Amino acid sequence: MTTSPKKSNYENKRKFVLPILILIVLVLSSTNTNALDMLGSPASEIRTEQFNIGLEYSLSSTDFSLVNGTWTEEITGQPDGSGDAIDVVLSDFETDKVNLYFGYGIERNWELFVRLGTSSAEFGDSLFKQSESFESDGTPSLGAGMRMTLVDDRDFKIGAVAQIGWTKYNGRLDAPQWDSPGFATMDLKEFQATIGAQYRWIDGIYIYGGPFYNYVMGEYDFEYVSFDNGISEFVTTKYSWDVETSSSFGGYIGTKVDLGGESYLNLEYQMSSDSSVIGANVVFKY
C-alpha cells in the first residue's frame, strides 16, 4: 500500500513539531517570568462526571517591587526604634514549581479543577546589595479554577479559564559578612483569567492561546538577629513590605499533543508587560 502525499506531509509535520516547540520553549525561558500557573487549553473536553489528573512543571524568574515597608529594631527584646523602609526591587526571584492537577466534569465541557504541589525559590543580592542569597525549602503550592467551552465547532473551539493560586516561600537569607543567616518569608496570591481559542492544526496536534488578565499581590517579611559587641546585646531587626505587581493584560500560546488513549501533553508560554511563564504538563482522563 502506498502512502498518499498528504498523509506523508502530516507525518513529517508531527515528526518535527515537538523538537521545534521544545526549542522555542527553551529560547523563551531565558526571559523573566512570573510565578503564575499554566492556563492550558481554554476549551474543556471533559465529559460529565469524568475525572482527569495531571502532572505540571514550571520554571520562573521575575522582579518584584517591595513597597509600603516598615522596620523595627529590638535590643534583647526591648524596642529600640522603628520607621518606614525604603521601596526596593526584589530582582531575579527564581522558582521551580511542581503540581498535581485534578479536574472534574460537572457538565460536559465544564470543568472544575484544583492544584496541589510544591514550589521552591531563590534570589541573590537584591535587597541590601551585600552579596546576600536566599534559598527556600519546598513549600506548599495551592490553586483552583474552572474551564469551560463556549463555542465548539469541531476543529475550532473557544473557551474560558479562571484560576487562583497561593504559594508561601520560607527560607534563609544570608550574606558573607553577616553574623548569622536571616529568615525570610514571601506570601504570593494570584488571579488569572482568559478567553481563548483552540485550533486543530493536524491530527493529534492542537494550537491554543489568546489574551489573559493577571494580578499578583503578597507580602515579604525578613528578620535578622545579630550580636552587637559594643553593647554585648542581641539586636533583632525586622522588615515588612507589600509585594506589588501591577495588574496586567497579556497573551499566551501553547500546543496540545494527543499521546494516545485519554492522555495529552501541553507546552505553553505566557507573556505580559511585567511577567512571562513557561510550563508543561501531562494529563490523563478517566
Q: Which of 40, 61, 57, 137 is nearest to 98 (CA)?
A: 57
Q: How many CB atoms are located within 10 Å of the residue 66 CB?
A: 24
Q: Are 65 and 87 in contact (CB under 8 A)?
A: yes
What is the number of other CB atoms lying within 10 angstroms of the CB of residue 2?
Answer: 6
What are the residues facing 142 on neighbouring strands?
A: 116, 166
User: Going by C-beta distance under 8 Å and a sequence separation of 6 or more, which residues neighbour residue 260?
Assistant: none
CATH number of the 5-285 domain: 2.40.128
Q: What is the pTM for the complete model shown?
A: 0.78
Who contacts 257 (Cβ-Cβ below 8 Å, separation ≥6)?
A: 17, 18, 204, 205, 206, 264, 265, 266, 267
Predicted local confidence at residue 59, as pLDDT: 80
| Amino acid at the residue 282 | V
Cβ-in-10-Å burial (0-12, 13-18, 19+) of 8 comes to exposed
The DSSP 8-state label assigned to residue 23 in this structure reads H
User: Domain residue spans in the chain?
Assistant: 5-285
- H or E element that contains 268: strand 263-272
* pLDDT tens-digit profile, the chain (286 residues): 444 444 444 444 444 444 444 444 443 333 333 456 889 999 998 889 999 999 999 887 777 889 999 999 998 878 888 999 999 888 778 888 999 999 999 988 899 999 999 998 988 888 888 888 998 888 889 999 999 999 998 899 999 999 999 999 999 999 988 888 999 999 998 899 999 999 999 989 999 999 999 888 899 999 998 877 666 788 899 999 998 765 578 899 999 999 988 899 999 998 876 667 889 999 998 8
| Residue 17 contacts residue 258 (beta carbons within 8 Å) | no
The pLDDT, as a whole number, for residue 86 is 92
Q: What is the dihedral of CA 151, 152, 155, 160, to 10 degrees?
A: 50
